[in-house]
Structure 1
């Protein structure tokens, strides 16, 4: 603001300059992250989940039989989680698996 309380004529220029600096910094951070990942992979590193950390459909069916049984009886997700001692997210994941299998 100037002495009379009006917006300064330099304010838009300053804002545009600061915005450009912030964008350059974001681009620089992204470049450094990508180059670090690339170097890690070149040196034999592996990104992502470890092999075997994701359960197959058969493993999930075997481990969560009780959850599947309760879901087929029509219980709600929260009730299934409470009765089976599992987390709500686990019950949702199993329910999603059942829906996919029913559609096939």
Structure 2
């Protein structure tokens, strides 16, 4: 129990240091989070992955599309969930 309590104290100290560092960064004009424009809009995705969407609608498998297009399987799955109903 003594070691567990020391671990809790250490964790709270680390959390305090991180939060105070973030607060100092924000106070000096820093910004947290993603930069504007780092997330693609739906129109850009439609334009970029037009061929992938066409292959999905034709009935190709996700793995085959990923190999043919040179993109990741997760990307194909994300596109399928977003654009193919």
TM norm. shorter chain > 0.5: yes
The equivalent of 2:49 in structure 1 is: 64
Q: Structure 1: which 5+ runs fail to align?
A: 1-15
1:91 equivalent in alignment to 2:57: no
2:8 to 9, 13, 23: 23
Q: How many residues align?
A: 85
The equivalent of 1:80 in structure 2 is: 65
1:55 to 40, 51, 54: 40
Q: TM-score, length-normalised on structure 2? A: 0.92
Q: Cα RMSD between the aligned structures?
A: 1.1
Q: TM-score, length-normalised on structure 1? A: 0.76
Quote the Cα distance in structure 2 between the aligned partners of 1:89 and 1:46. Answer: 30
2:20 to 27, 35, 39: 35
Q: Structure 2: which 5+ runs fail to align?
A: none
Please list every run of at least 4 consecutive aligned residues from structure 1 whose deviation after the TM superposition is greater than 3 angstroms: none
Quote the Cα distance in structure 1 between the aligned partners of 2:81 and 2:29. Answer: 36
Greater relative contact order (CA < 8 Å, ≥ 6 in sequence): 2
**Structure with greater Cα Rg:** 1
The equivalent of 1:9 in structure 2 is: none
